[in-house]
A and B are shown apart, each in its own frame.
Chain A
């Protein structure tokens, strides 16, 4: 399992850079990961990311866009403007969670 150093912290990541250890994540790290993909975090971004962090340990998987919209109550349209083009992937990346599973 590769590791990488972000903002002075060594973290475990997969081939695409998604963090693989839930407990290695901090909000500071989230801010640094966001900056890497061109997202500047504000309150609205954090509302989504904190939902992902809360939901993951309960559901044991990264929430889908639909789940963030319905259960997390952030409209899909807004998620696309906060995390342009690929919101589900970008949110997972920033939140230090596995890439959302492609449903086969």
Chain B
């Protein structure tokens, strides 16, 4: 009996377990998945929680309930992997030997990595929204917020769902307006990047949207520490940004056990080939989703599209054949912009987000890089698709690789604001 062990049952791990269970014979391959608890969170839902949009129950389900029959689920924390021995050690002392290992343990916000962040102001005037508890605490704080400086801040790239801080800013701005207190609040967007976003066309477009909303953008800001007495962000080059309410995206890191296993880079991401996601060090270890170091967005859509390519590659790999699928870094993200509208962006390793129609040329129905109500409804509908189609491993009728059909390449004048 061959053994496949999958670490992590988020979007990538769950989809892989379910898709491979249907493709691997039960009497030839066992599939064991490991996670530290039995709570699967619909993470895109966190964004709406601070504004009272979603409840706890709408974003949390049982992990086990989404796993196909014939997949063994082990609840436990990973101590380390011993890649030379082909075994995973759990903190409980349990050992899980494997023939093939898939690492899908994602990335986690680490407020402990910035001095002052986890200090006395944490969840008093400093909040995150990348955890459900953080988003819920922020909902409470926002309901009491009447005036002052609201600072939205990104600590360092890469982060999970890199458009989410922009979405949060757009939603907060709209929400302040709806409550009639926008003129009493100064909104500041602080980023280590040199624009609103990384890619030139999208950065110029999204930057323009911040400007329209009178959000001040502070660029190239690398935070060194938070001064909790004076309540301000302090950068390495000694700039200071005071806040009354700070909504920060802490440093994101892969799981600590990857460092202990010698598999992680300086942020604990697993170094892999960007097309096959096979480890660069070990021929029987893959890393999929946010846990890998591929130069793509850390996002559920990337996990989803890459799993589609991975499954075919994995079957070839265990048959001793060369892997013929090549993932292109395809990402597809809705960007909420407030007042029940959203944009959609679609891009990959080589092609930045461009305007146009998606998924079909001319008819759409989604508009790329443009605020529409249809895009917003698409984002809301996706929660149902996630639970009912995506996680169970049923086919989603969207191509895994990015297509240029329906996209327009703009001519030079309006897009290339310095990236």
Determine if A66 and B237 form an interchain contact, defined as CB atoms under 8 angstroms apart: no
Q: Mark B194-236, 1 if CB is under 8 A from A, else 0.
A: 1000110000000000000000000010101000000000001
Determine if B266 and A70 form an interchain contact, defined as CB atoms under 8 angstroms apart: yes
Give Cα A85 to B295, complex, Å: 24
Q: Mark B271-308, 1 if CB is under 8 A from A, else 0.
A: 00000000000000000000000011100000000000
Determine if B295 and A103 form an interchain contact, defined as CB atoms under 8 angstroms apart: yes
Determine if A102 and B222 form an interchain contact, defined as CB atoms under 8 angstroms apart: no
- List, in ascending order, chain B residues with CB within 8 A of A104's CB: 158, 162, 198-199, 295-297, 331, 347
Answer yes or no: A35 CB below 8 A from chain B CBs.
Answer: no
Answer yes or no: A19 CB below 8 A from chain B CBs.
Answer: no
Determine if B237 and A85 form an interchain contact, defined as CB atoms under 8 angstroms apart: yes
Determine if B236 and A77 form an interchain contact, defined as CB atoms under 8 angstroms apart: yes
Q: Among the listed B158, B199, B222, which residue makes an inter-chain contact with A76, where contact means beta carbons less than 8 Å apart?
A: B222
Determine if A103 and B158 form an interchain contact, defined as CB atoms under 8 angstroms apart: yes
- List, in ascending order, chain B residues with CB within 8 A of A89's CB: 194
Determine if A102 and B157 form an interchain contact, defined as CB atoms under 8 angstroms apart: yes
Q: Mark B141-172, 1 if CB is under 8 A from A, else 0.
A: 00000000000000011110010000000000
- List, in ascending order, chain A residues with CB within 8 A of B297's CB: 104
Number of A residues near B (Cβ < 8 Å) is 19
Determine if B295 and A101 form an interchain contact, defined as CB atoms under 8 angstroms apart: yes
Determine if A80 and B237 form an interchain contact, defined as CB atoms under 8 angstroms apart: yes
Answer yes or no: B419 CB below 8 A from chain A CBs.
Answer: yes
For chain B, residues 385 to 408, give those with C-beta under 8 angstroms from any C-beta of chain A.
Answer: none
Give Cα A67 to B158, complex, Å: 13
Determine if A102 and B236 form an interchain contact, defined as CB atoms under 8 angstroms apart: no
Answer yes or no: B193 CB below 8 A from chain A CBs.
Answer: yes
**What distance in Å separates the Cβ of A61 from its nearest Cβ neighbour in chain B?**
8
Determine the main DSSP class of B at the interface with A: loop
Give Cα A79 to B296, complex, Å: 26
- List, in ascending order, chain A residues with CB within 8 A of B157's CB: 102-103
For chain B, residues 325 to 353, give those with C-beta under 8 angstroms from any C-beta of chain A.
Answer: 331, 347
Considering only CB atoms, which chain B residue lies closest to A103 in the complex? Answer: B158
- List, in ascending order, chain A residues with CB within 8 A of B295's CB: 61, 101, 103-104
Give Cα A85 to B158, complex, Å: 19
Considering only CB atoms, which chain B residue lies closest to A101 in the complex? Answer: B295
Considering only CB atoms, which chain A residue lies closest to B295 in the complex? Answer: A101
Given known pairs A76-B224, A80-B237, A104-B331, the reply for A86 and B156 (CB within 8 Å) is no
Give Cα A104 to B329, complex, Å: 10
Determine if A77 and B198 form an interchain contact, defined as CB atoms under 8 angstroms apart: no
- List, in ascending order, chain A residues with CB within 8 A of B224's CB: 76-77
Given known pairs A77-B224, A104-B297, the reply for A71 and B198 (CB within 8 Å) is no
Determine if A102 and B419 form an interchain contact, defined as CB atoms under 8 angstroms apart: yes
- List, in ascending order, chain A residues with CB within 8 A of B59's CB: none
Given known pairs A76-B222, A104-B162, the reply for A66 and B347 (CB within 8 Å) is no
Q: Among the listed A61, A71, A85, which residue makes an inter-chain contact with B220, where contact means beta carbons less than 8 Å apart?
A: A85
Give Cα A102 to B236, complex, Å: 19
- List, in ascending order, chain A residues with CB within 8 A of B60's CB: none
Give Cα A76 to B115, complex, Å: 14
Determine if A67 and B266 form an interchain contact, defined as CB atoms under 8 angstroms apart: yes
Give Cα A65 to B220, complex, Å: 12
For chain B, residues 231 to 252, give those with C-beta under 8 angstroms from any C-beta of chain A.
Answer: 236-237
Considering only CB atoms, which chain B residue lies closest to A100 in the complex? Answer: B157
Answer yes or no: B90 CB below 8 A from chain A CBs.
Answer: no
- List, in ascending order, chain B residues with CB within 8 A of A86's CB: 194, 220
Answer yes or no: B267 CB below 8 A from chain A CBs.
Answer: yes
Give Cα A21 to B334, complex, Å: 37
Q: Mark A59-70, 1 if CB is under 8 A from B, else 0.
A: 001001111001
- List, in ascending order, chain A residues with CB within 8 A of B237's CB: 80, 84-85
Give Cα A65 to B224, complex, Å: 13
Considering only CB atoms, which chain B residue lies closest to A86 in the complex? Answer: B220
Question: B residues touching A (Cβ–Cβ < 8 Å)?
Answer: 156-159, 162, 193-194, 198-199, 220, 222, 224, 236-237, 265-267, 295-297, 331, 347, 419
**A-B contact sample (18 more), CB < 8 A, given A67-B265, A80-B236, A104-B297:** A65-B222, A67-B266, A70-B266, A76-B222, A76-B224, A76-B236, A80-B222, A85-B237, A89-B194, A102-B193, A103-B158, A103-B159, A103-B162, A103-B198, A104-B158, A104-B162, A104-B198, A104-B295
Question: A residues touching B (Cβ–Cβ < 8 Å)?
Answer: 61, 64-67, 70-71, 76-77, 79-80, 84-86, 89, 101-104
25 of the cross-chain contacts (CB-CB < 8 Å) are: A61-B295, A64-B266, A65-B222, A66-B156, A66-B266, A67-B265, A76-B222, A76-B224, A76-B236, A77-B236, A80-B222, A80-B236, A80-B237, A84-B237, A85-B220, A102-B157, A102-B193, A102-B198, A102-B199, A102-B419, A103-B157, A103-B158, A103-B198, A104-B199, A104-B297
